[in-house]
A and B are shown apart, each in its own frame.
Chain A
Amino acid sequence: MSFDPAQLAQIAPLLVVLAGGVFLLMLEAFSGSRNRSYLMPLTVIICAIAIGLELASWSDAAHGSRVIFDGMLTADRLSIFMDCVFLTAAALSAMLSAGFMREHRFEHGELYPLILFATGGMMMLGAATSLVTIFLGIETMSIAVYVLTGSWRRAPKSSEAAMKYYLNGAFSTAILLYGIALVYGASGATGLAELGQRASVLGTQPIFILGMLLILVGLGFKIAAVPFHMWAPDAYEGAPSPVSAFMATGVKAAAFTTILRLFGTAFARPELATGVVGWANILAVIAVATMTFGNLAALRQDNVKRMLAYSSIAHAGYLLIGVVAMGVVGVEARGPVLYYLVAYTFTTVGAFGVVAWLGNRGDERLQIDDWAGLASRHPAAALAMTIFMLSLGGVPPTAGFFAKFYLFRIALESAAPWMLILVVIAVLNSVVSVAYYLRVVTAMYFREVGREPQPIRARGMSLALVICAVATLAIGILPGWLSDLAALATR
């Protein structure tokens, strides 16, 4: 092993984000001023610089996979694409956080560095091509997010959420690590490409398969797939809403990137994917359980934030269809998953953002009744929320529709009858989901104002919501360029 400093240039965005986090932490500690309003713009700028660096390396990344640090990391287009998603989610969540924290009086400056550290973990995860870096990325991301979840110290349910998330997270990481150990023990390799080569010999070894399944379980926790979802509703509901937005999008997207990489490279062999205990078969069952459970549970919620938490479980189920399709048609199926993650990120951050925006001090206004008549008081916000709800429900011309369409297309392309059944189940689930998404719209537009809403006034927040709403519509109406980029990112 040798360390080549020149390779650091290839992980420049990651370094910028991590260094930016440290810088903000120091700045906040030593500035002495009680005014912390400069932190949010700085966070956004750091994210923007990182996105700029990512985009600049896009064309270089076309020439083969760029191996960094002896195959620990890569800087291929998949990682560039997903890094932009993580960074966008981070920047938008930061923009939402500023107003939210001021309104609810918990302006802790650590929040922004923590968001950046978590994003750094996600970026490492997105670029990880070795089981070791995968583990490192997951830990870096998770520990920062545990703290973020509990960052609203005075709110008991925030601490409760952090505790639940932490215990479940630690448990799942242990399982993941055990899986990694077994896979390493069976194969003697940690690099994903190398594992993929050795799998042809080792593919039938029980220890190898057991290790693979344990890794699957560990990642299943991170994406909140049923039956590993128990922590998610409480954690999403208890965390400050901007953090929930970040968790539901960034963390999920990062875990999905790892799943795509791991199961598209290391465990890609057909006998591992569609054998008796093949991961594609198992994930198909998990996908059905996840979307069905998520949607049915969301249907029963009167708390909008909790409803969004269950809906995000359901969306993990839809996304898993893309992963299952990857087991049948190959890495081509990554494109739709990437597109879906982008659409889902803008939509979900927006939806949680409106939830965050609506509450005021001492009164988060999460019940569906609190949304009654919002359209007559705040038409723009109601319109934005409607766009997000329609997009989550998959109604054209929003991004959510094209995402589902693209995903179902790749699933049907595999021409396996059970994939058709999977898609039909997903479609019926979408109908169920429309029922509860429209409950919010119904409350906002069709009911009379109950309690007068006193939403948060913050420029950053409004801007974030506008960006999310416009993006949700724009990539829904003109989906071509993004789906092309997503397809490029999978080559």
Chain B
Amino acid sequence: MILTLITFLPLCGALLCMLLPREEEGLLRGTAFVTALATFVASLFLLSGFNPHGWSFVVDVPWVAALGIHYHLGVDGISLWLVLLTTFLVPIVLLGSWHSINKKVREFMVTVLILETGMIGTFLALDLFMFYVFWEVMLIPMYFIIGIWGGDRRLYASIKFVLFTMVGSLLMVVAIIYLYVRHHELAHTWSFDYQELSRLVLSPHEQLFCFGAFALAFCIKIPLFPLHTWLPDAHTEAPTGGSVLLASVMLKFGTYGLLRFAIPYFPDAMAELAPLLSVLAVIGIIYGSLVAFAQKDMKKMIAYSSVAHLGFVVLGLMMWNVKAIDGAIYVMLAHGISTGGLFLCIGVLYERRHTRRIDEYGGIAAVMPRFAGVFLIITLASIGLPALCGFVGEFLVLTGTFGAYATWAGLPHFFAHPKVLALFATSGVILSAVYMLFLYQRLMYGPITHARNRELPDLSRREVMVFVPIVIMAFWLGVYPSTFLRTIDPAVDRTVAAFKIKYQAGVQATDLPKMLPEIAASPASPEGEEKR
């Protein structure tokens, strides 16, 4: 029940906001904020009673019984922290947008809360139909956020965002239906159940097509080089809150989808395409960093840095060993905190000066000392300084990649020389330090070149409240990773083991497509339900 509560509480808040009069802006902001905060508090209860060895808090109710569609939610170590990241960031986003959103306040609150329901639902869905519904439900609010409250080129950016995402996701729905029909042919029941469909081993040929369709949807979302071109536009034109949610949470759906669906479902295709995807990931790391370095617009720069960071995540996933995947998930969380923080910092400057051009600033540290401190911490967190959140994940990914070859016993050898990849990817860490520190230097130090910059007020109490949780989490993720890895690790272990079983079943078999026997080894829902 708690999962239903977390998923639909924001939607209820959105409906409530719709009923409130539009003039009562304070009340609207308050209602939305309280709803988001309540959702966060409710989501904290997931931590108690969470069972790291399977699905927890499972809800499974038939929705369209004749077609095997179930309302099926559940959480495991992979999705747990991503859900918490979402519920953690939404109140912060609402608080951060308190004054910057001053037109159509009611609509903003409604769209952000609907978006939250979509995001949480996508992470929790254990029924592929539900997953797809939530996945698409997410799209429309973000389209509105960019289109209504965005910058000058918002019309272009919003429609580009929708169309890019749609191309991938509609091909994915074809692949989902294909799986579903194939499953029915072999098992004679209609089901969209995640576990049930994962028993299906398709022939290599089919796997390649289905993996292609899934991976295209996810790689556009990530975005993996060269599918990233929508991202700078969307990020730059979106309002601060939109950028934060887009970068911190929505990009993660791509990598989450790869890890949860595309790779475990189609091991053979994964083996085939991993070299390509991992090379693209490394290109993304280096390309993203270099392009970020050349930007004159702060937001564009952070957008390209996201391409680089997400490159690490994809690289980690492609190496398919526990360490690298742990690292990939960790980078997802850390990137959510640090990039969210960076966009909020830029939002603070933008609110004061209404420009995103880097050369309009300079010497800000002298007039805004508190801000300078916060911004420095978040910048360093993004670079990956040890003791801050960025370090752990990237380190795990790089060591996981470097030592990947030895971990592939019983698995395909995805790549002949993973060490080479690690070597190139490491340069991304250095490059990120270069462009981020260069940004910090140009914004914060040096003489004040613009007269208006002399009178900028420092962080208000509200803004401090926005940044405090982010800074705390940046340190927490950096200093004490085992809080998180303790639950992530078993889930990743299970996923890797299941992959291995499925891959071997596929390699030896000549009678594909076929069904694997009921996976009894993986402790599925019953245990989780006891906990409930």
Tell me, yes or no, whether A binds B.
Answer: yes
Interface residues of A (CB under 8 A from B): 376, 390, 394-397, 401, 405-406, 408-409, 412-413, 415, 420, 423-424, 427-428, 430-431, 434-435, 438, 442, 445-447, 479-480, 483-484, 487
What is the CB-to-nearest-CB distance from B350 to chain A, in angstroms, rounded to a whole number? 20
Distance between Cα atoms of A359 and B151 in the complex (Å): 31
Q: A395-B139, A424-B174, A427-B173 are in contact. Are A415 and B66 (CB under 8 A)?
A: no
CB of A428 within 8 A of CB of B181, answer no
Nearest residue, chain A, Cβ from B69: A480
What is the CB-to-nearest-CB distance from B155 to chain A, in angstroms, rounded to a whole number? 6
CB of A409 within 8 A of CB of B180, answer yes
CB of A446 within 8 A of CB of B148, answer yes
Distance between Cα atoms of A368 and B104 in the complex (Å): 22
CB of A445 within 8 A of CB of B144, answer yes
Main SS at interface, chain B: helix
Q: A446-B148, A480-B65 are in contact. Are A415 and B181 (CB under 8 A)?
A: yes
Nearest residue, chain B, Cβ from A394: B170
CB of B67 within 8 A of CB of A483, answer yes
CB of B163 within 8 A of CB of A434, answer yes
CB of B170 within 8 A of CB of A431, answer yes
CB of B181 within 8 A of CB of A409, answer yes
18 sample A-B contacts, Cβ–Cβ < 8 Å, listed by A number? A394-B170, A395-B136, A396-B133, A401-B133, A405-B129, A408-B174, A409-B180, A420-B178, A424-B174, A427-B170, A427-B174, A428-B167, A431-B163, A438-B162, A442-B155, A446-B147, A446-B154, A447-B155
- CB-CB < 8 A to B180: which residues of A? 409
CB of A435 within 8 A of CB of B163, answer yes
- CB-CB < 8 A to B69: which residues of A? 480
CB of A412 within 8 A of CB of B177, answer yes
Distance between Cα atoms of A428 and B171 in the complex (Å): 8
Q: A395-B136, A395-B140, A446-B155 are in contact. Are A427 and B171 (CB under 8 A)?
A: yes
- CB-CB < 8 A to B505: which residues of A? none
What is the CB-to-nearest-CB distance from B391 to chain A, in angstroms, rounded to a whole number? 39
Distance between Cα atoms of A438 and B129 in the complex (Å): 24
- CB-CB < 8 A to A406: which residues of B? 67
CB of B154 within 8 A of CB of A396, answer no
- CB-CB < 8 A to A405: which residues of B? 129, 173, 177
Q: A438-B143, A445-B144, A445-B148 are in contact. Are A412 and B66 (CB under 8 A)?
A: no
Nearest residue, chain B, Cβ from A434: B166
Q: Is B132 an interface residue (CB 8 A)?
A: yes
CB of A397 within 8 A of CB of B158, answer no
CB of B174 within 8 A of CB of A438, answer no
- Nearest first, the 9 closest Cβ-Cβ pairs linking A and B are A480-B64, A396-B133, A446-B147, A427-B170, A396-B136, A412-B181, A431-B166, A413-B181, A409-B177
Q: How many residues of B contact A (CB 8 A)?
A: 36
Q: Is B137 an interface residue (CB 8 A)?
A: yes
Interface residues of B (CB under 8 A from A): 63-67, 69, 104, 129, 132-133, 136-137, 139-140, 143-144, 147-148, 154-155, 158-159, 162-163, 166-167, 170-171, 173-174, 177-178, 180-181, 184-185
Partner of A445, one of B147, B170, B178, B184: B147
Nearest residue, chain A, Cβ from B136: A396
CB of B159 within 8 A of CB of A435, answer yes
Q: A483-B64, A484-B66 are in contact. Are A442 and B158 (CB under 8 A)?
A: yes
- CB-CB < 8 A to B133: which residues of A? 396-397, 401
Distance between Cα atoms of A415 and B181 in the complex (Å): 8
- CB-CB < 8 A to B171: which residues of A? 424, 427-428
Distance between Cα atoms of A172 and B222 in the complex (Å): 51
- CB-CB < 8 A to A435: which residues of B? 159, 163
Q: A395-B139, A480-B66 are in contact. Are A412 and B170 (CB under 8 A)?
A: no
- CB-CB < 8 A to A415: which residues of B? 181, 185
Distance between Cα atoms of A395 and B133 in the complex (Å): 8
Nearest residue, chain A, Cβ from B164: A431
- CB-CB < 8 A to B167: which residues of A? 428, 431
Distance between Cα atoms of A309 and B178 in the complex (Å): 32
Residue from A434, A435, A447 with most neighbouring chain B CB atoms (10 Å): A434
Nearest residue, chain A, Cβ from B176: A405
CB of A438 within 8 A of CB of B159, answer yes
Distance between Cα atoms of A396 and B134 in the complex (Å): 8
What is the CB-to-nearest-CB distance from B70 to chain A, in angstroms, rounded to a whole number? 11
Distance between Cα atoms of A484 and B64 in the complex (Å): 9
Distance between Cα atoms of A412 and B170 in the complex (Å): 15
Nearest residue, chain B, Cβ from A397: B133
Nearest residue, chain B, Cβ from A429: B170
- CB-CB < 8 A to B174: which residues of A? 408, 412, 420, 423-424, 427
Q: A427-B170, A431-B166, A484-B66 are in contact. Are A442 and B140 (CB under 8 A)?
A: no
- CB-CB < 8 A to A376: which residues of B? 104
Nearest residue, chain A, Cβ from B130: A396
What is the CB-to-nearest-CB distance from A441 to chain B, in angstroms, rounded to a whole number? 8
Nearest residue, chain B, Cβ from A413: B181
